[in-house]
Amino acid sequence: MRYLNKEEINIATRFLFLSMTIIVIEQDLQHFEEGAFKIKKPYKQLLENMHALALNERKHLKRRMYQKKMQVIHGERTRFFSTFIFMAQQRQEEKSFFNPVIRNHVEAILRELIQKSSGLSEMIMDD
């Protein structure tokens, strides 16, 4: 049974997967320094631009969630599934995601951020 409306589910899932994407980008930035890249600056700049875009979008999502009295709570995680509880105005809905599906969502957001950041990188590099 659905307890949250479609807009609330969309906001909560985007917030969830975007937060996971931010973690991946932050880990990549940490590992990046250890990499054997000959010229690091363009790659690092791309990752930093992606990180900034993701943080900005998450900030806007957090604001919307606060206005709608929404929360996303991490539930149980097994080898194959991760469960999250979406709460909105005294209503809650438990959603389970197949872990490879989570990975696909995070990867899709990464690709989206790469596309957005590529244009931003070109503008910065022209300076």
Distance CA 84, CA 16 (A): 9
Asked if residue 83 is part of any domain, the answer here is yes
Domain limits at 79? Answer: 6-126
Q: Is residue 1 part of a domain?
A: no
Give the containing element (helix H, strand E) for 87.
strand 81-88
55 occurs within a structural domain: yes
**Using 50, 70 and 90 to split pLDDT, how confident is the model at 125?**
very low
For the chain, percent helix, then strand, then coil, each to nearest 5?
65, 20, 15
Where does residue 11 rank: exposed (0-12), middle (13-18), buried (19+ CB within 10 A)? buried
pLDDT of residue 73: 96
Residue 68 in domain: yes
Q: What is the pLDDT of residues 77-112, one digit of tens each?
A: 999 999 999 999 989 999 999 999 999 999 999 999
Structural domain contains residue 79: yes
Q: Indicate the range of 6-10, 16-20, 28-32, 98-102 predicted with least confidence.
A: 28-32
Q: State how far the Cα of 62 lies from the Cα of 107, in Å rounded to an integer.
A: 21
Query: What global pTM score does this model have?
Result: 0.87
Number of structural domains, the chain? 1
pLDDT, one tens digit per residue, over 34-82 is 777 788 888 889 999 999 999 999 999 999 999 999 999 999 999 999 9
Task: Give Rg (Cα) of the chain.
Answer: 17
Judge whether 31 lies within some domain: yes
